[in-house]
Structure 1
């Protein structure tokens, strides 16, 4: 069997990877929602107890926004991916691994901010969140790097600039989350949380890449 034939045999369509990814991302969102619970309170103290949980709401907002734009960017990527190889499967699994893990630092940040929004534990917590969020961005770098090395995995009508722009967005996110972590450690944890809430907006606005105008073909838009 020739090398070319072996390489082709190791490839598969994207349907199973997309279905598995959608399921994992749905679980990731569910895990975030589990962090919202009925707070313990005395009779007549429910309102105060709910307000005291504001760090949980803020963490949920930041992380739900992040997972949501990951799903959106993931969908936009697979509109353009034609087939999968082992390297792209590995990059996709790394992306899912970091996404599901996001519920852990979200809970840590909420607990630390609830105890002391300016304390040392809150600074460590936002650094943890920033580190995992940056790792998630770097998993996208690995995803786009694989597409750059194997352009035949993309559909013929994929934009020539898509992979390059995807890399730029991913590196920008990794640097931004890293900077937010430093801001939270050195200045104030709440400043870092504000960046965590704002960054998903950037990814939402650029979910179809940095090119001008939508390039999704009419037949693909209903996929």
Structure 2
């Protein structure tokens, strides 16, 4: 068995690196003297893509952190699933760069491709979280003992499935309207934030008091 705190520390480090890498997309703009402000404004696609992906990765980290705070034991298979989850999240940097680049050039076809690529990665991430949730749900011996056991409160099992559906809709609608597809893509990310708040309340309410104070 692996120690849960070691796995969580390694995962937290990877999340920190991923968020840091997002900043590297910012570069000094080319500008004529006296026109720096206009050149900075032209970089709004980079800022938009950065903010969206920062919030997305940040929410996923909160999910991951709260989830693993309820785990007492780590099996080799759970460790492998966790690595799959982390791998899927590392992919988000690429479509983030695609979004910022295509928005800057304002080509509708390229923007559609970037939105679909982002939605595919987000879909993959949600699928890995679903695998993670299901595995731990089916192995209750890995969880910390709690005062009251309520499986449905402890695992919001439908949340990853709902996000999967949203991202599939984003992919499909992007071929008819890139803006509608983009709307559903943002809706999926917003859903993660809502789902996190629900999961956090359920998990915190179910954990022993000594854990809640840490």
| Alignment map for 1:1-223 (pairs within 5 Å) | 11-116=1-106, 119-157=108-146, 159-162=150-153, 164-165=155-156, 167-188=157-178, 190-207=179-196, 209=198, 214-215=204-205, 216-223=207-214
- Number of equivalenced pairs: 210
- Give the alignment's TM-score, normalised by structure 1: 0.85
Decide which moves more: 153-162 or 57-66. 153-162
State the secondary structure of the residue aligned to 2:69.
helix
- Give the alignment's TM-score, normalised by structure 2: 0.89
Contact 1:126 1:185 in 2 (8 A): no
Alignment partner, residue 8 of structure 1 = none
Encode CA deviations 1:132-172: one digit per residue, 9 max, x unaligned.
0110010101101211232211112264114641x311111
Structure 1 runs, 4 residues or longer, greater than 6 Å off? none
Aligned equivalents of 1:60 and 1:138: distance in 2?
Answer: 23
Contact 2:116 2:174 in 1 (8 A): yes
> Any stretches of 5+ residues in structure 2 without a counterpart?
none
Encode CA deviations 1:28-55: one digit per residue, 9 max, x unaligned.
1011111122211111222221111121
Change (3 A) 1:94 1:122: same
Aligned equivalents of 1:79 and 1:40: distance in 2?
Answer: 46
> Any stretches of 5+ residues in structure 1 without a counterpart?
1-10
Contact 1:76 1:208 in 2 (8 A): no
Deviation for aligned residue 1:109: 1.1
